[in-house]
Amino acid sequence: MKKIFTLLFVSVFAFTACEGPEGPEGPPGEDGVNIVGETFEYSNINFSSQNDYTFSDSYDPPLVEGDVMLVYRLEGIENGLKIWEPLPTVFFNSDTGDDLRHRFNFTNVDVEIIIESSNFSAFGPDLLSNQSFRVVIVPSDLINSVDTSNIDAVMKAANIKSVQKLN
């Protein structure tokens, strides 16, 4: 037992006492910078001719140059889980031949969600009224390494743990 204790003590001392040569200095950067995304959830959004079938919101502080904004529409809830669908989306009414599109655009200070259609009356309120959207800001360092069609993957990669609910 005494030999095992001695061997363990010597091993721990040997591994903690050794230091290798110092590596090269890394690129300059800001101390304490943490790449974290942000997300906003908008609910009860109604689209009509009164608002030109458009919803917009601004945010402060502005996006960092190179960051990307993604928008998802709440498609439904199944077994208590929200199902988010990435924009743009297109719906087709086979009876009338009309289509309806949800799309978005953004700048570094605002986001705009737009619905376009060849005939809005061909679609029911389930696509125009009480809509919920989740807007996710993804840092540019992550955008090429994540499946943006999967909101859970985006939020995990961007280290987003909470959603700021608006409206």
What is the pTM assigned to this prediction? 0.69
Look at residue 149 and tell me if it is in a domain: yes
Look at residue 10 and tell me if it is in a domain: no
pLDDT of residue 32: 44
**pLDDT, tens only, 112-144:** 999 999 899 999 899 999 999 999 988 877 766
Q: Can you read off the two tokens belonging to residue 36?
A: 């974290």
Look at residue 84 and tell me if it is in a domain: yes
pLDDT of residue 122: 94
Nearest C-alpha neighbor of 40 from the set 149, 150, 132, 106: 132
Q: Can you read off the two tokens belonging to residue 77?
A: 């809830």
CATH number at residue 121: 2.60.40
Q: Predicted confidence band at 76 (pLDDT cuts at 50, 70, 90)?
A: very high
pLDDT of residue 10: 47
Give the whole-number percent of the chain exceeding pLDDT 90.
47
Whether the per-residue pLDDT at 72 is higher than 50: the answer is yes
Look at residue 26 and tell me if it is in a domain: no
Total number of domains in the chain: 1
Look at residue 83 and tell me if it is in a domain: yes
Look at residue 11 and tell me if it is in a domain: no
Q: Are 22 and 144 in contact (CB under 8 A)?
A: no
Whether the per-residue pLDDT at 27 is higher than 60: the answer is no
